[in-house]
Homo-oligomer: A and B are copies of this chain.
């Protein structure tokens, strides 16, 4: 942040009094500007034994598959944001279930949060940011073509939990997450 969003004067980077970290401080109006990580909200849209995935029409990871997800907007709850992204990217209306995963990606200053969701119907279609949208059974998931590690982890845990009856919220730094051991062999290939 080179210029003050409040008054347009140049900022300087320094540790404000009583703070412990360098911040962008305005050289004219003295306003302190904080930069904080962002929340990305998504769903695991389920139809019987199938999961809805979107193929990305935007960078980063153009052409790869993902769960519908995007940045949380001002004025909404995490649940509302997750449903909005599912509608925008997959044209799909869902009924949310419990929170499923909360993964930290500190190297890009994001936290990714996924809710389980039931598709209300099969009336879905690719939104502006998707090339295509389709349902996958577990053995059809394009594991080598997934866009983000948080999506891979969320899907791996989802299928593991479905097989084992495990029911919990998966959390942690995505760089440290140990994926479930008993996944089908195909999933254990390096990626």
Contacts and interface: CB of A to CB of B under 8 A. Distances in A.
B5 A74 contact: no
Interface in A74-95: 74-80, 88
Interface of A: 1-11, 18, 20-21, 24, 33-39, 71-80, 88, 98-99, 102, 104, 106, 109, 111, 113, 128, 168-169, 171-173
A158 to B, nearest CB: 16
Given A3-B7, A5-B1, A99-B171, A36 B38 contact: yes
A49 B102 CA distance: 28
A63 to B, nearest CB: 18
A109 B8 contact: no
Given A3-B6, A74-B37, A18 B128 contact: yes
Given A36-B74, A169-B99, A3 B4 contact: yes
Contacts of A172: 77, 79
Contacts of A71: 34, 36
Nearest to A20: B88
Contacts of A102: 78, 99, 102, 113
B74 A173 contact: no
B6 A8 contact: no
B18 A8 contact: no
